[in-house]
Amino acid sequence: MKKIVIIPARLQSERLPNKPLKLIGNRPMIQWTYQAALNSIANEVYVATDSEEIKKLVESFNGKAFITSQDHQTGTDRVFEVASKLNLENEDIVINVQGDEPFIDPMDIDLIFNSFDFEADAESNFHSGLNDAMSHGMCTLYSGVDTGENIDDPNVVKVKVDECISLDFSRKVLGDKSEWFVHLGIYGYKFRCLKEFVNLNQTENEKTYKLEQLRAIDNGILIKVLPSKSLFHLGVDTEEDLKEANEIAKKF
């Protein structure tokens, strides 16, 4: 079973143009993310980008990058374009790590890889008692640490979790909030599930709430959700986020 990390990195961003190239400390943001992925148990790490400038930058620190179409609607589509060029088997694992997550802990990436390894081991053991909750095609993470202060922030996506399975995703939580946690934008897929996902039509929920993971739920794809081990959770989307990232970088 191959373990692949693909980092989608688009040059244009509405709130922070040229985001992957922005310096955090003395390194560009994309290099922080790439190095974290290299420190995981991944067999290979690639950047999927629509920019020659980003590709050259990645190659300057001996990274691997593919130029992808500029017409993709989502980062997942960009990830699949690269994954489809790697001669992967259906049971190989592809993890989509967002390029604007410079402080992602390699342990979190390993956590997702290992969730699929655990399932494979269970399937090979006749007495394992594998149940439906373990058999998943997708896996993502949540943060309990960041949930309290962000539970009412509509800019922060939340996930409803029941026994490590996602029941729903939302930007706004109404009623009982005890099962809702801050969702982290990292996804692992069996390659067969990734193929299935990108070939599904966008659902009304996805288009309404602008959350592509709702496409999976609406089509019955089981998404396993595990608690993150990372100390810092910061998606860098604005100049303020970038300033915060530079403060955090001083601790490394």
Please state the domain extents for the chain.
3-249
pLDDT the model gives residue 130 = 37
Residue range 16-35: average pLDDT?
A: 94
**pTM of the full structure:** 0.89
pLDDT the model gives residue 118 = 57
Q: Please provide the distance, in angstroms rounded to a whole number, between the alpha carbons at the two ends of the chain.
A: 33
Alpha-carbon distance of 189 to 194, in angstroms, equals 6
Nearest to 116 by CA among 185, 48, 179, 187: 187
Tens digit of each residue's pLDDT (9 = 90 or more) over 156-186: 899 999 989 999 999 999 888 989 999 998 9
β-strand partners of 223: 138
Residue 94 has pLDDT above 90, yes or no: yes
Nearest to 136 by CA among 221, 69, 219: 221
Alpha-carbon distance of 131 to 124, in angstroms, equals 13
CATH topology (fold) of 3-249: Spore Coat Polysaccharide Biosynthesis Protein SpsA; Chain A (3.90.550)
Tens digit of each residue's pLDDT (9 = 90 or more) over 146-161: 778 788 888 889 999 9
Q: What mean pLDDT, rounded, does the chain reach?
A: 88
Alpha-carbon distance of 108 to 128, in angstroms, equals 25
Residue 127 has pLDDT above 80, yes or no: no
Residue 238 has pLDDT above 50, yes or no: yes
pLDDT the model gives residue 21 = 94
Nearest to 245 by CA among 18, 6, 45, 33: 33
- Kindly calculate the radius of gyration of the chain based on its CA atoms and give it in whole angstroms: 18
Higher per-residue confidence, 126 vs 212: 212
Residue 235 has pLDDT above 80, yes or no: yes
In the chain, the amino acid numbered 251 is K
pLDDT the model gives residue 132 = 40
Q: Is the dihedral of CA 205, 209, 211, 213 positive or negative?
A: negative
Using 50, 70 and 90 to split pLDDT, how confident is the model at 10? Answer: confident
Using 50, 70 and 90 to split pLDDT, how confident is the model at 71? Answer: confident
Residue 232: partners with Cβ closer than 8 Å, 6 or more residues away:
103, 248
pLDDT the model gives residue 119 = 54
Question: In 12-146, which ranges are continuous DSSP H helix?
Answer: 29-38, 52-60, 75-83, 106-124
Q: How many Å separate Cα 208 from the centre of its chain?
A: 21
